[in-house]
Structure formats: structure tokens, C-alpha cells
Amino acid sequence: MVKSSVLGYPRIGENREWKKALEAFWAGKLEESELHTQLQEIRLNHLRKQQEKGIDIIPVNDFSYYDHVLDTAAMFGIVPKRFAYTGSVVPVSVYYGIARGTKDAAASEMTKWFNTNYHYIVPELNEAQPVLTENRPLQAYREAKEKLGIEGKPVIVGPLTFLKLSKGYKATETDAWLDRLLPLYVQLLQELESEGVQWVQIDEPILTTKLSGDDLQRLKTIYVTIAAKVPALNIMLQTYFESVDNYNDIVTLPVKGIGLDFVHGLSGNLSSIKALGFPQDKVLGAGVIDGRGIWRAALGEKLGLLEELAELVTAERLIVQSSCSLLHVPVSTDRETKLPSELKDALAFADEKLGELVLLSTAVSKGGSAIAGELKECDRALQVLKLSNARNRKDVQDAVALISTKQPERSKPFAERHTAQQKKWQLPLFPTTTIGSFPQSAEVRKSRQLWRKGEWSDEQYAAFIREQIDIWIKLQEETGLDVLVHGEFERTDMVEFFGEKLEGFAFTQNGWVQSYGSRCVKPPIIYGDVAYKDAMTVEETVYAQSKTTRPVKGMLTGPITILNWSFVREDITREQVAYQLAYGIRQEVEALEQAGIGMIQVDEPAVREGLPLKEEEHANYLSWAVKAFRISTCTVKDTTQIHTHMCYCEFHDMIDSIEAMDADVISIETSRSHGEMIHSFEENTYKLGIGLGVYDIHSPRVPAVEEMTDMIDRALHVLDPKLFWINPDCGLKTRGYEETISSLRNMVEATKLAREKY
Ligand code: GLN
Ligand code: ZN
């Protein structure tokens, strides 16, 4: 019998019980012992589900109290000195301190887990003296066995991946660190071996990125050492998110199994196997069910792929797997009662994917006829969605095909637009503005709830929003800002707001996924052709403009950000979906312009997040991302000023693309990197309007005038004063009222000082 396996299961629980338990504990409303009890219950429930569905090899130690990378660091006693931790096992208070900060010590940095929207806590190796404080994989293994009779597969973050994702050491110290860590891994694995554990999954997703010769050498050292010290343990060396570059180096390592991603790395991995073969002494973990996507698998096609692999590898040496941990998808479609059936039937969240894995392993063992009914039902569901009206909007498809044949251009180059816009707007040197949102106070959120529940009429709610706009237009004028915004009070979220107003989107009731720690997001689903219905932002923007003689910037979310923060259909390319979104946004840009709005910002904070893992694919992605932005913004008059905004730092390798977007003004986050990104502009004379954020909006602290002056001076070393704008780093929606006003006053003060100097 061909076995099925999963690489990891979502932690958050069917009803986000996990999140609720963590937050109750942090708020002091749950005793620590109760936290352990509740989390154990959740964990066992997840194992039981996989057992009941019939998964053969069930992962353990994939569960976490926050993040699996932090778990690994904590297990090795790697705790930054500022947490004053001594002793052995890292207590829960210190563990959460590292993740979230304490009153005395700042949290560790958090960053994106490869190209997903999951964020891990970056281990800080400096100063630490690692030891194996406890064997968490072993504890998880014993728990599953004792409580449920499950022969679990402990999952651990591999040594190379752990080392590469950590910080706090110099490149020259890498081997010294490996020398410290490897014996701890060996000790851990030896304990698993003596316990009689059969399979261990060692996650090395770093193997899907470009590795240096030194790293390949380290990889070899690691797995040769492990094989020598723990010969009886079956190690599944697991990769995911892409194909592996160094196929030959990897499959010849002395491990029992190699796990490859045949969804996101399908063509690369399959051609490597075909060209180079697969070693006869190894098992292939065939990741055929997408662990990151929400769509039901085309079972017939997957079965075909598995049969092809069985020819190359032999069926006895196949394990049917998810392509990566199911951490990245929602728990179950069971609770979705409001989705159109054509969509719901075509979805598979974590629990449904368990079913698919079991079906496929049965089918490879016994032949497709063993699951004939299921194959038929699957075909039917996929066919219904394919033929649905939502996916066959000829009007949209034709318009988009026409627009995207050539590179969209504004009618004049930037230099000429700039002159025309200066003449029209008469803005002072260093115009000041904000990024769009103002504080979403409890009152704002409350009123939206009342309106959503039907307790407030549309008119009542609209009147409330107008009141907020009145207040903030006045405040912006009093503060002395030059370009104003309406404040985005009517929006919960910058993607959901537009998704609800465009066609082609669906919203789940319970489709949550973990983003970081207890924070979960519920991405919209782009399942049909995206179509513009009616004006989305004109009313509020025009109202705000009617209250002031200063220009009010319209505020939209860009196509690439909507794309990257949604679950996206896969029957057409992401590029095509981006163009459809762009075409929708373009119609709103035009509607705003027609309504007399002369400055329009199209936010693209998430462009960087969509960068493919493989460097050789960056250029192509960036080129269509830029094109999508230009489709959205290119049809306006010369005098209409297009703004954009980006955050999450690190743009050094994208400045050419940012320039190619051809926005008249861009505002970029700068302060969180302590102005480091200013260096990016040194060799690269950016030629369009630009505002580098002069203060960090992520903290309630009111920055002093001098700090902002300092940031401005540094920026003006490398940027043309005539093109320079002054603004905060990002939107102010999470900030309080007082601090927002004080900070903006200081910002205007710093601007006045700068104007005197230049
Ligand atoms: N206009 C948005 C705001 O001000 C931009 C948010 C973002 O960049 N993430 O909130
Ligand atoms: Zn931002």
C-alpha cells in the first residue's frame, strides 16, 4: 500500500480556539496550566482528525505555542541576553517575551517565511551558548502514541535552514555555529532513535533557494554526520515551495527519503528526476497536493502525475504528501454556508486536503477505478466552476486582452507632467502629506459594526463617516499639511474593501490562516473574472474635497497588492488576474478624475511580497507588476498627479522597477530601517517625486522635530529637493488621536525648518 502523509497541520483550530487561548493568556485571563491544557486539547484534536481521515504518517511537533522557528531556538536555549534568562527549559514567559517583547526588552525581529504570508521569529545567535534544553519532538511523539496510539512523525526545522534564517553572526562564523548546533541535533535524533521512532521529517526549505558551494558542503557535512550517528532512523529530508536547484547533491545525501514539491516546483523537480533518475535506496515524498492553495485538486491529473512518478521511482517507494505544511490554508470548508456552491465545491482547505491525500494513495495502490466515484465528482465540480458565468466574462476578457497588448503609457513623460502639475497645484517646496488612513478609533469600529448588523441605516452610517471626514479635514488644515486625505474611515481593510465592491471576489466566513503569532488573516478569494461595477471611493473623496480648498488625494489599493493578499484562481495566470484587477482600478481612477479629484494614490505595499523565490524569475514578475500598475494609472490627464505608496522596507534591488511604475510621487517607508534604505538611492538618481517616510508609525511615541530633521537632511543628500515630499512611513489607522496630531505637527515644523535651509 502506498502511504499518505502530511507535512504539518494548521494550529489555529476550527474556530480559532488557539488564537483565543493565547490572547487570553497574554491578557492574564488564563492561568498557565490552563493554557497548557487547552493547547493540548487542540493539538490532540488535530491529530485525531488526521487519524480518522486515514492519513498514514501523521506529523507531530508541527504544533506550536507561537512559531516553529522560535520553538527550535527555544529548544536549543537560544535566547537573546536582554531577556535575562538563565537555566534550562525556556519558560513560557520568556518564550512569549522573545516573540512579543516585554516592558524591559524588545521583541526579536519577525520576517516572512520564504514566499508565504507566514512570519517567523528570527533567532539571534550572538551571545547564546546553545544546549538541548528539552527534546520537544520526542515529547510530541510520546504524547501522540500514549494518548491516541499514533506512530507520529516528528517534524523539525533542519540545521541548514535554521542557521541560514538566523541572524547575529558573521558569515565567517557560520561553520563555528554549525559545530555548535549539529551535536545538539544529533543528540535530539539519537533520543528519537532509541525511542523507536520510525520517520523524522527534517525541513530544509532553504534547499529551494540558491546555495553557495560552502553551503552545499555544510549540507553534506550535516547529513553525513547524522547518518553516521543515527543510522537506524528514517529521515525524510523535506523541501518545499519550489524545485531544488542542486538536485544531484541533495538526492545523493545519506537519508532514507527525499521530499519534493510537485506543485510549486513541479516542472523543475520532475525534469530533474527524469533526467537524473532517483536513487533506488530512497523513498520519494511526492508533494502533489498543494499545501498553500485553497483549490480542490484535479484528482485525475494528480493521479496521472503519481503514476508517472511510480514508473520512475516504483510505487513501493512513494509517499503521497502535501506540497508543504497545511499551515498556510484555512482549516475546513465545512463551516462555509454562504459561498456560491459552484465555488464551495471547488475548494479544499486543510481537512479536505487530507481526504484528497488518502484518495490518491488508495488510487496509486489499487488503480484509479478504486476511486472512480470520487474522480467523477471532482471532475464535475471543477467543470461547473470552469463554465460558470463568473469565470466567463467576455466583456472583461476582451477589454483586458486589448489593453495588455502594449505597454501602457501616460501621454507625456514625467518631466513635462511635473512642470504642468507644478503650475496647476502651486505646491510649496517639500510638500507635506500623509499615507491615507487616520486613526480607526473604537467609535469608528463600533459604528461599522452597528451598520453591518443592520442597527444603523446606510444613511446614518454615511453621516457618521462624513462627520469623521469633517473633523480630520479641519485637523489636517490646522496642522498645516499641504495635500490632504479623507482618512479611510469607511474601510476595514485595504483589500477587503475593494474586493467587496468589485465582481469576481468571494469572502469566506471562517477562512482564517495564521499570519504571525496569534494574528490571523482571512484573505478574499478571487475566483471569477474581476469586473468593475460602480464607483467605490468617489463619494467620500468628493465630500472631503468639498470641505477644503487644498487638494485631497483619492486613495485606492493597487492591483498587485490586491493580488498578493488574496487567494487567487489558478486556471489563468497571476499576470492575467493582475491585469483584470488593474483594469478595474483604472475605471475607479477615471471616475475620481471625472469627479474633479486631481491627485490619486494607488497603494502598492505588497509588490515585494510577490517576488518569486527563484531569482531568475524576478524580472518577469516585476515587469508584469509594473505593467499592471501602469494599466491602472496611465489614462489620466497630465495635470492629474498619480501617487503610490510602498512599505516593508528593503527596496534596494527593485528601484528600477519602482521608477518604471512612472508614478508622479511615491511615498516609501524609511524609518523602520533607521534610514538605511536611503543608501539605496545613492548610486541611483531617482528621477520622480518621492517622499521618504520621516517617522515610524508603528509606535505610539511622538518623534521629536530634530529626529525628522535628521532624516530629511540625510535624504536630501541623495535626492533632488525639487522632487522631495515629506510624509510619515505609512497609514495612521492604528495610532491614537493625540499622538497622531502631535507627530504631524512636529513633521510640519521639521518641514518649515527644511524649507528655510534649502
Ligand atoms: N493607504 C493605506 C493606509 O494609509 C496604506 C496602507 C499600507 O501601506 N499598508 O492605511
Ligand atoms: Zn504602508
* pLDDT tens digit sequence for 688-710: 999 999 998 988 889 999 999 99
pLDDT of 217 > 90? The answer is yes
How do the residues of the chain divide into helix, strand and coil, expressed in percent and rounded to 5? 50, 15, 40
What are the start-end ranges of the H helices in 210-334? 213-229, 247-251, 266-276, 299-313
- Is residue 126's pLDDT more than 90? no
Residues above pLDDT 70, as percent of the chain: 100
Nearest CA to ligand 1 atom 5: 731
Q: Please indicate if the annotation marks 16 as binding a ligand.
A: yes
Smallest CA separation from ligand 1 atom 4, residue: 731
Tell me, using a 6 A CB cutoff, whether residue 647 lines ligand 1.
yes
DSSP assignment letter at 493: -
d(CA 74, CA 352): 33
Q: Mean pLDDT over all residues of the chain? A: 96
Is it the case that residue 678 has pLDDT exceeding 90? no
Q: Tell which atom from ligand 1 comes closest to the C-alpha of 557.
A: 1
pLDDT at 653: 86
Report the nearest-CA residue for atom 8 of ligand 1. 605
* Ligand 1 near 646 CB (within 6 A): no
CB distance 265 to ligand 1 below 6 Å: no
- Say whether pLDDT at 230 is over 80: yes
Which long-range contacts (C-beta less than 8 Å, at least 24 apart) are formed by 532-535?
Answer: 532/502, 532/503, 532/583, 532/584, 532/587, 532/588, 533/501, 533/502, 533/503, 534/501, 535/588, 535/591, 535/595
Mean of pLDDT values over 115-131: 90
Enumerate residues with CB within 5 Å of ligand 2 (an ion).
Answer: 605, 647, 730
Q: Is 293 annotated as ligand-binding?
A: no
pLDDT at 324 over 80: yes
Rounded Cα–Cα distance for residues 219 and 159 (Å):
9
Give the contacts of 18 (CB within 8 A, at least 6 positions apart): 11, 12, 39, 42, 518
Is the pLDDT reported for residue 374 higher than 90?
yes
ipTM over 0.90: yes
Distance from residue 632's CA to the centre of ligand 1 (Å): 18
Rounded to the nearest angstrom, the distance between the alpha carbon of 603 and the centre of ligand 1 is 7
Distance CA 323, CA 239 (A): 9
Q: Which of 192, 223, 313 is nearest to 260 (CA)?
A: 313
Q: How far is the CA of 572 from the centre of ligand 1 (A)?
A: 28
What average pLDDT does this structure show over 177-195?
Answer: 98
Predicted pLDDT of residue 651: 83
Which candidate, 582, 546, 549, places its Cα nearest to that of 563?
582
- pLDDT score recorded for residue 82: 92
* 26 — pLDDT class (breaks 50, 70, 90): very high
Q: How far apart are CA 112 and CA 67, in angstroms?
A: 12
Ligand 1 pocket check for 731: Cβ under 6 Å: yes
151 and 194 Cβ atoms separated by less than 8 Å:
no
Is 519 known to sit in a ligand binding site?
yes
Is residue 127 very low, low, confident or very high in pLDDT (cuts 50, 70, 90)?
confident
pLDDT attached to residue 239? 98
Which candidate in 119, 418, 618, 698 is catalytic?
A: 698
672 is annotated as contributing to ligand binding: no
CB of residue 730 inside a 6 A radius of ligand 1: yes
Pocket test for ligand 1, best of 602, 645, 733 (most atoms within 8 A of CB): 645
Confirm or reject: Cβ of 80 under 6 Å from ligand 1. Answer: no
Which ligand neighbours the alpha carbon of 697 most closely? Answer: 2
Cα of 672 from ligand 1 centre, angstroms: 16
β 519-521/513-516 pair status: antiparallel
Per residue in 575-626, pLDDT (tens digit) is 999 999 999 999 999 999 999 999 999 999 999 999 999 999 999 999 999 9
67 assigned ligand-binding residue? no
Q: Is the pLDDT of residue 87 over 80?
A: no
Under DSSP, the state recorded for 677 is G
CA atoms within 13 A on the CB side of 154: 29
Pocket test for ligand 1, best of 434, 486, 488, 552 (most atoms within 8 A of CB): 488
- Side chain identity at residue 309, one-letter code: L
pLDDT exceeds 80 at position 649: no
List the residue whose alpha carbon is closest to atom 10 of ligand 1.
731
Q: What percent of the chain has pLDDT over 90?
A: 93
How far lies 157's CA from each of 104, 162, 266, 578, 674, in Å?
Answer: 30, 6, 23, 34, 31
* pLDDT interval class at 270 (50, 70, 90): very high
Q: How confident is the model at residue 496 (pLDDT cuts 50, 70, 90)?
A: very high
Atom nearest to 605 CA in ligand 1: 8
Minimal CA–CA distance to 333: which of 512, 521, 567, 496? 512
Q: How far from chain centre, in Å, is Cα 611?
A: 11
The ligand 1 atom nearest the CA atom of 730: 8
pLDDT score for 84? 87
Contact 603 CB / ligand 1 (< 6 Å):
yes
The finding on whether 154 has its CB within 6 A of some atom of ligand 1 is no
Dmax (CA) of the chain: 81
pLDDT at 758: 87
What global pTM score does this model have? Answer: 0.95
* Mean pLDDT score, 77-101: 92
Active-site residue 698, yes or no?
yes
Does 17 carry a binding-site annotation?
yes
Is residue 517's pLDDT more than 80?
yes
Burial of 114 (0-12, 13-18, 19+ CB in 10 A): middle
Residue 313 CA to its chain's centroid (Å): 35
Whole-number Å distance between alpha carbons of 610 and 622: 9
Site to substitute for ligand 1 among 730, 733, 735, 740, most atoms within 8 A of C-beta: 730
Tally Cβ neighbours within 10 Å of residue 419.
Answer: 12
Q: Is 294 annotated as a binding residue?
A: no
Indicate which residue's Cα is closest to atom 6 of ligand 1: 731
- The DSSP 8-state label assigned to residue 551 in this structure reads -
For residue 672, name the pLDDT band (cuts at 50, 70, 90). confident
- Using the atom order of ligand 1, give the atom closest to the CA of residue 669: 8
> Residue 673: its pLDDT value, please?
76
| Pocket test residue of 489, 603, 669 for ligand 1, highest count of atoms within 8 A of CB | 603
Calculated CA dihedral for residues 631, 632, 633, 635, nearest 10 degrees:
70
- Taking the CA of residue 437 as reference, the ligand 1 atom at the shortest distance is 4
Average of pLDDT values for 633-658?
92
Which element (helix H / strand E) includes 666?
A: strand 665-668
Ligand nearest the Cα of residue 648 is 2
Residue 603 among known ligand-binding residues: yes
In terms of pLDDT, which residue wins out, 492 or 190?
A: 190
Q: Closest residue (by CA) to atom 3 of ligand 1?
A: 731
C-alpha cell at 41: 486539547
The pLDDT of residue 580 is 98
Is 67's C-beta closer than 6 angstroms to any atom of ligand 1? no
Atom of ligand 1 nearest to the CA of 436: 4
Residue 86 exposed, middle or buried by CB count within 10 Å (0-12, 13-18, 19+): exposed
- For residues 478 and 700, give the distance between their C-alpha atoms in angstroms, rounded to a whole number: 21
Contacts of 460 (CB under 8 A, 6+ apart): 451
Q: Is the distance from CB of 342 to CB of 385 less than 8 angstroms? A: yes
Sign of the CA dihedral 135, 139, 145, 148? Answer: negative
| Residue 129 predicted with pLDDT over 90 | no
DSSP 639: T
512 is in an annotated binding site: no
Q: Are 160 and 218 in contact (CB under 8 A)?
A: yes
Q: Is the pLDDT of residue 645 over 80?
A: yes
- Band of pLDDT at residue 683, cut at 50, 70 and 90: confident
Q: Going by CA atoms, what residue is nearest to atom 9 of ligand 1?
A: 605
Q: Taking residues 134-159, what's their average pLDDT?
A: 98
